[in-house]
């Protein structure tokens, strides 16, 4: 296999709060190949978006990357200067945010916001930039772009605002695309249109894509591989078909059993017991799911837990897998 487009190793992130230090990510590792779509799934609070923001270097000030390496095409992203990372972000790697109305500036036209990205990374004469903006809008199938280029976010639907966000993210032809819950707040029909568009554009450009979602059915349809997160840990990762056919971590099985579209009948639906642990604790067990797990054994509390291969391409962080 060729060298990965993106490689993340032992990424740990803490947040400083008035109530103490929150250990949001702990030892997150994964690779993403060029042309691959990786789905990151898990409950709210599992660390999915924080992982994306850490990669992009857009964590809030209260956050601290405690440890870890992030490499893009072999380059050490964390070792880059602020200027170089700013140039990398947008030109080679881009992110689509989950709420387009808050991601877009309400007092600038949508065309100007796309133009800002292009002007920063590929400066040119205003007429040329305007044509590039229109082309970016056409790429995401915005109807009548010559008219809508001057529109403000409040004048557009949620679906069109999300298309503008995608156009801005893709305006400089990045090779890495992170989509953070890109269909949040959209109706079912619009969700399908947006996801089909992201998939088609990623395939056409051979992009490495990270799709962050809590919707396992969505991940099953659009991803090549799934990475399951719980309370800041990666607990399982496998090709899509393999993970859905044979989930080995109790948490993964619980997630699959809680999705109506993934069970045979409503009687098969199961809720995952308990809730995420308090990540401010200093006595968290090596497996952060242990206190919710019916399969907990004494060795689950022993240190040194990590991902172990249980089948080709299938890795699980569990001492008592299913």
The domain ranges of the chain are 6-92+174-316
pLDDT at site 267? 63
pLDDT of residue 266: 67
Question: Of the candidates 48, 46, 11, which has an alpha carbon nearest to the alpha carbon of residue 211?
Answer: 48
- For the chain, the straight-line distance linking the first and the last C-alpha, in angstroms and rounded, comes to 29
Q: Taking residues 217-221, what's their average pLDDT?
A: 94
Q: Is the pLDDT of residue 206 over 90?
A: yes
Q: Which residues of 139-160 are buried (b: 16+ CB within 10 A; e: fewer)?
A: bbebeebeebbebbbeebebbb
Q: What topology is assigned to 6-92+174-316 in CATH? A: Rossmann fold (3.40.50)
| Average pLDDT of the segment spanning 252-271 | 79
pLDDT band at 1 (very low <50, low <70, confident <90, very high): low
Q: DSSP characters for 281-318?
A: -S---SSTTGGG-TT--GGGGSS----EEEETTEEE--
Helix (H) or strand (E) holding 226: strand 225-230
> Given this model, what pLDDT does residue 99 score?
86
pLDDT at 269: 74
Nearest to 285 by CA among 275, 272, 299, 274: 299
pLDDT in tens, 44-74: 999 999 999 999 999 999 999 999 999 999 9
The reported pLDDT for the residue numbered 313 is 95
For residue range 221-250, what is the model confidence (pLDDT) as tens digits?
A: 999 999 999 999 999 999 999 999 999 999
Collapse the DSSP code of 45 into the 3-class scheme (helix H, G, I; strand E, B; otherwise coil) and give the result. coil
Residue 264 has pLDDT above 70, yes or no: no
**Per-residue pLDDT tens over the stretch 111-151:** 999 999 999 999 999 999 999 999 999 999 999 999 999 99
- pTM here? 0.95
Residue 271 pLDDT: 84
Q: How far apart are CA 279 and CA 283, in angstroms?
A: 10
């Amino acid at each position: 296999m060729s060298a990965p487009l993106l490689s993340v190793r032992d990424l740990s992130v803490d947040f400083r709060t008035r109530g103490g230090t929150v250990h949001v990510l702990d030892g997150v590792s994964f690779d993403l190949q060029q042309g691959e779509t990786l789905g990151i799934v898990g409950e709210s609070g599992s660390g999915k978006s924080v992982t994306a923001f850490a990669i992009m270097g857009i964590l809030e000030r209260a956050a601290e990357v405690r440890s870890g390496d992030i490499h893009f095409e072999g380059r050490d992203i964390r070792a880059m200067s602020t200027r170089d990372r700013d140039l990398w972000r947008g030109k080679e790697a881009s992110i689509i945010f989950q709420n387009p109305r808050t991601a877009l500036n309400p007092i600038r036209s949508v065309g100007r916001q796309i133009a800002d990205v292009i002007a920063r990374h590929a400066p040119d004469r205003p007429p040329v930039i305007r044509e590039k903006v229109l082309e970016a809008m056409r790429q995401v199938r915005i109807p009548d772009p010559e008219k809508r280029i001057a529109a403000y976010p409040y004048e557009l639907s949620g679906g069109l605002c999300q298309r503008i966000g995608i156009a801005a993210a893709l305006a400089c032809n990045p090779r890495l695309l992170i989509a953070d819950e890109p269909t949040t707040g959209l109706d079912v029909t619009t969700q399908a249109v947006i996801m089909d568009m992201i998939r088609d554009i990623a395939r056409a450009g051979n992009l490495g894509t990270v799709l962050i979602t809590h919707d396992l059915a969505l991940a099953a349809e659009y991803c090549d591989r799934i990475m399951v997160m719980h309370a800041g840990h990666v607990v399982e990762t496998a090709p899509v078909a393999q993970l859905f056919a044979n989930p080995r971590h109790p948490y993964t099985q619980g997630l699959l059993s809680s999705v109506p579209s993934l069970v045979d009948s409503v009687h098969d639906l199961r809720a995952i017991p308990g809730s995420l642990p308090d990540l401010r604790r200093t006595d968290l067990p090596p497996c952060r799911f242990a206190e919710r797990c019916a399969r907990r054994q004494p060795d689950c509390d022993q240190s040194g837990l990590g991902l172990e291969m249980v089948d080709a391409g299938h890795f699980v962080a569990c001492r008592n897998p299913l």
